[in-house]
Amino acid sequence: MDGPGDADVTDTPVLFSRRRIVMKNRNQLVLGIAAVLFLIVTVMEWMFPLNVVGAFGFVLPILLVATVRNRQLMVMTLALCILVTFIGLFQPAKKKERFTTVVFNRIMVVFVLAGVAYIGVTWEERKAREEAARAALATQTEHLLRANTQLGELKDTLARSERLAAVGQLVASVAHEVGTPLHSIAWHVEALAEEPGLTAEMQKRIGIIDEQLNRVVRIIQDLLSSTRQRKPEPTWYPAERLIEPVVALMEPGYHAKGVALQAEVTPAVSVWADAEKIHQVLVNLLTNALAATSTGGQVVVSVTARPASAEERERGSCTGRTDLDTTVLLVVSDSGCGMPREDMDRAFQPFFTTKAIGKGTGLGLFLSREVVVAHGGQLTLESEVGKGTTATVILPGLPTHPGAA
């Protein structure tokens, strides 16, 4: 997501360009007015060469040209004004004394015009330096504010990283201690499965318990073998085989709370997935949906396929195939309380949770998104307060099973 600082950086060249255009138009208008005044004074000088008062009118175009802040243009303007000031000397005078007086007066006018030109240019250059200093100060202030914002973000990121590292160490130590009793439970489950007289329903439940125990053992082994999560090892996997075990695992919890759990799976769709990793993602999404849905509500797990966009095809290149034009959507929709916008914006941040203390760690959605992204997919959320939430896992897909692909 782009921040406000990025918008300022993008807009700055545009603002400078607009300002240059405005200044150019202003300068053209000022020079036009100065040229008109210069012509008027020139005509007066030609018509009344002995009247020195009219020559002082050149002060106006000189002051106007000074606002353009161009020294060369000011020198040219001053030279023209001086030249025209002496135009009366080229007309014959009746008395020599009168001629001498005209020359003296014109010299005085020249000194006045030169002084005005110097003061005008100096004043405008000083204003230009002050404006440049204010602009530089504003730019540096903006950079400092942006740097301060980035520093705050980096501090937050560092704090999250430290908390993740601490959690990793804690989980590793806990996993080591939990491993032994889990193995003991697994042995007892195996012994129970060999008991005679088990009904089909009991065998199904024992099978689910055994499968989930083995899964927990594998997760613990991953935690103990490395400080990082095991990288996904995806293959083309039938969608219904991803959904059915998760629904069977979660169904008792939903039944106990009085929430309906419904599965809608499109047949003949295969997903690029590490079954165990995506299983974890779906369990997390269904757990969140159950927590957000009150008794009498409904949660629907659906699998659909649609044509892949160009961006999705590019991400799907991680499968090793460039001809993929199908995207599979694993959707978990609930009729629960929904999430406000401020919670939606932070939902994927580590350690963010709206659950009570002891009910959630705030890592579920964060880790789920990491897993999905590692598959070349996306995890998105849509929610409306009072109407429910929809979580969508977007993965590369095939319209048929791998054997037919």
Residue 229 lies in a domain: no
**330, 375 contact by CB (below 8 A):** no
Which amino acid, one-letter code, is at 202?
M
Same-domain check for residues 15 and 138? yes
Boundary residue ending a domain (150, 170, 201): 150
Residue 168 lies in a domain: no
Same-domain check for residues 384 and 240? yes
pLDDT tens sequence for the chain (405 residues): 444 444 444 445 566 667 778 878 888 888 888 888 888 888 877 777 666 677 788 888 888 888 888 888 888 888 888 888 877 666 555 445 566 777 777 788 888 888 888 888 888 888 888 888 888 888 888 888 888 888 888 887 777 666 666 666 666 566 655 665 766 677 677 777 777 777 888 888 888 887 777 777 777 666 555 445 556 778 888 888 888 888 888 888 888 889 999 988 876 788 888 888 888 889 889 988 998 899 999 999 998 888 888 888 777 776 666 667 788 899 999 998 888 888 887 887 776 776 665 555 667 788 888 888 888 888 999 988 888 999 999 988 887 644 443
Residue 306: strand pairing partners: 327
Residues whose CB falls within 8 Å of the CB of residue 11, separated by 6 or more in sequence, listed in order? none
- ∠ CA 96-97-99, nearest 5°, is 65
What Cα–Cα distance (Å) separates residue 295 from each residue in 291, 301, 302, 306?
10, 18, 21, 33
Boundary residue ending a domain (118, 133, 150): 150
Boundary residue ending a domain (150, 168, 192): 150
**Structure tokens belonging to residue 400:** 């048929």
Residue 315 lies in a domain: yes
Same-domain check for residues 395 and 274? yes
**Structure tokens belonging to residue 98:** 């009168």
Same-domain check for residues 140 and 265? no
**283, 246 contact by CB (below 8 A):** yes
pLDDT at 392: 92
Same-domain check for residues 267 and 391? yes
Residue 200 lies in a domain: no
Give the domain extent around 246: 235-404
Residues whose CB falls within 8 Å of the CB of residue 235, separated by 6 or more in sequence, listed in order? 272, 273, 274, 402
As for how many domains the chain has, the answer is 2
Residue 198 lies in a domain: no
- ∠ CA 38-39-43, nearest 5°, is 120
pLDDT at 5: 44
Same-domain check for residues 258 and 134? no
Rounded to 10 deg, the angle between the 200-225 and 275-292 helix axes is 110
Asked whether the CA dihedral 254, 259, 260, 264 is positive or negative, the reply is negative
Same-domain check for residues 245 and 140? no
pLDDT at 299: 93
Same-domain check for residues 274 and 398? yes
Residue 204 lies in a domain: no
Residue 174 lies in a domain: no
Same-domain check for residues 124 and 262? no
Same-domain check for residues 299 and 397? yes
- Residue 348 belongs to domain with CATH number: 3.30.565.10
Cα–Cα dist 203/200, whole Å: 5
Same-domain check for residues 130 and 259? no
What Cα–Cα distance (Å) separates residue 205 from each residue in 192, 193, 213, 307?
11, 10, 12, 38
Same-domain check for residues 287 and 138? no
Residue 170 lies in a domain: no
